[in-house]
Structure 1
Amino acid sequence: MTRPIAVVGPTATGKSDLALDLAERLDGEIVNIDAMQLYRGMDIGTAKLPLAQRRGIPHHQLDVLDITETATVASYQNVARADVEAIMARGHTPVIVGGSMMYVQALLDDWDFPATDPEIRARWETVLAERGTVAVHEALRAADPVAAATILPTDGRRMVRALEVVELTGKPFAASAPQIGEPRWGTVILGVDRETAELDARIDLRTSLMFDSGLVEEVQGLIPKGLRRGQTARRAIGYAQVLDYLDDEYDLAEARERTFIGTRRYVRRQRSWFRRDQRVHWVDGADPHLADTALAIVRDHSRTPQQESITNP
Structure 2
Amino acid sequence: MRTAAPAPRVIAVVGPTAAGKSDLGVALARHFGGEVVNADSMQLYRGMDIGTAKLTPEERGGIPHRLLDIWDVTVTANVAEYQRLARKEIDRLLAAGRTPVLVGGSGLYVKGAIDVMEFPGTDPEVRARLEAELAEQGPGALHLRLATADPGAGRAILPSNGRRIVRALEVIEITGRPFTAQLPGHQSVYDTVQIGVDVARPELDDRIAARVDRMWEAGLVDEVRTLEAQGLREGLTASRALGYQQVLSALAGDCTQEEARAETVRATKRFARRQDSWFRRDPRVHWLSGAAEHRAELPHLALALLERAVTA
Q: Which residue of 1 aligns with 2:212?
A: 207
User: Is the Cα–Cα contact under 8 Å of residues 2 and 91 in structure 1 kept in the other structure?
Assistant: no
Where do 1:206-225 residues align within 5 Å? 206-225=211-230
User: Is the Cα–Cα contact under 8 Å of residues 8 and 306 in structure 2 kept in the other structure?
Assistant: no
Following TM superposition, by how much is the alpha carbon of 1:169 offset from its aligned partner in structure 2, in angstroms? Answer: 0.5
For residue 190 of structure 1, give the secondary structure of its aligned residue in structure 2: strand
Following TM superposition, by how much is the alpha carbon of 1:127 offset from its aligned partner in structure 2, in angstroms? Answer: 1.8
Where do 1:156-195 residues align within 5 Å? 156-181=162-187, 183-195=188-200
For residue 185 of structure 1, give the secondary structure of its aligned residue in structure 2: coil
CA separation of 1:2/1:293 partners in 2, compared to 1, >3 Å: closer, same or farther? closer
Following TM superposition, by how much is the alpha carbon of 1:141 offset from its aligned partner in structure 2, in angstroms? Answer: 3.0
Following TM superposition, by how much is the alpha carbon of 1:273 offset from its aligned partner in structure 2, in angstroms? Answer: 1.1
User: Is the Cα–Cα contact under 8 Å of residues 139 and 161 in structure 2 kept in the other structure?
Assistant: yes
Q: Does 1:146 align with 2:173?
A: no
Q: Please, which of 289, 301, 307 is the counterpart of residue 293 of structure 1?
A: 301
Following TM superposition, by how much is the alpha carbon of 1:86 offset from its aligned partner in structure 2, in angstroms? Answer: 0.3
Following TM superposition, by how much is the alpha carbon of 1:17 offset from its aligned partner in structure 2, in angstroms? Answer: 0.4
For residue 295 of structure 1, give the secondary structure of its aligned residue in structure 2: helix
For residue 171 of structure 1, give the secondary structure of its aligned residue in structure 2: coil
Following TM superposition, by how much is the alpha carbon of 1:2 offset from its aligned partner in structure 2, in angstroms? Answer: 5.6
| Deviation readout 1:190-214 (Å, 9 max, x if unpaired) | 0001121111110010000001111
| Deviation readout 1:190-246 (Å, 9 max, x if unpaired) | 000112111111001000000111110001001111111111000001000001111
User: Is the Cα–Cα contact under 8 Å of residues 88 and 94 in structure 1 kept in the other structure?
Assistant: yes
Where do 1:1-313 residues align within 5 Å? 1=7, 3-181=9-187, 183-286=188-291, 287=294, 288-303=296-311, 308=312
What is the CA–CA distance in structure 2 between the aligned matches of 1:290 and 1:2, rounded to whole Å?
18
For residue 26 of structure 2, give the secondary structure of its aligned residue in structure 1: helix
What is the CA–CA distance in structure 2 between the aligned matches of 1:216 and 1:67, rounded to whole Å?
16
User: Is the Cα–Cα contact under 8 Å of residues 5 and 95 in structure 1 kept in the other structure?
Assistant: yes
User: Is the Cα–Cα contact under 8 Å of residues 115 and 190 in structure 2 kept in the other structure?
Assistant: no
What is the CA–CA distance in structure 1 between the aligned matches of 2:136 and 2:105, rounded to whole Å?
31
Task: Name the amino acid aligned to 1:217.
Answer: D
What is the CA–CA distance in structure 2 between the aligned matches of 1:91 and 1:191, rounded to whole Å?
24
For residue 220 of structure 1, give the secondary structure of its aligned residue in structure 2: helix
The alignment's TM-score, normalised by the length of structure 2, stands at 0.94
Task: Name the amino acid aligned to 2:298.
Answer: L
Following TM superposition, by how much is the alpha carbon of 1:139 offset from its aligned partner in structure 2, in angstroms? Answer: 2.7
What is the CA–CA distance in structure 1 between the aligned matches of 2:185 and 2:151, rounded to whole Å?
21
Following TM superposition, by how much is the alpha carbon of 1:54 offset from its aligned partner in structure 2, in angstroms? Answer: 1.1
Task: Name the amino acid aligned to 2:128.
Answer: A
CA separation of 1:233/1:257 partners in 2, compared to 1, >3 Å: closer, same or farther? same
Which aligned segments of 4 or more residues in structure 1 are displaced greater than 6 angstroms? none
What is the CA–CA distance in structure 1 between the aligned matches of 2:201 and 2:153, rounded to whole Å?
29
For the aligned residue pairs, the C-alpha RMSD in angstroms reads 1.2
Q: Which moved more, 1:253-262 or 1:146-155?
A: 146-155
Following TM superposition, by how much is the alpha carbon of 1:302 offset from its aligned partner in structure 2, in angstroms? Answer: 0.7
What is the CA–CA distance in structure 1 between the aligned matches of 2:63 and 2:141, rounded to whole Å?
47
% of aligned pairs identical?
53
Q: Which moved more, 1:214-223 or 1:101-110?
A: 101-110
User: Is the Cα–Cα contact under 8 Å of residues 2 and 92 in structure 1 kept in the other structure?
Assistant: no
Q: Which residue of 2 aligns with 1:311?
A: none
Gaps of 5+ in 1: 309-313
What is the CA–CA distance in structure 2 between the aligned matches of 1:272 and 1:291, rounded to whole Å?
24
For residue 162 of structure 1, give the secondary structure of its aligned residue in structure 2: helix
Task: Name the amino acid aligned to 1:260.
Answer: V
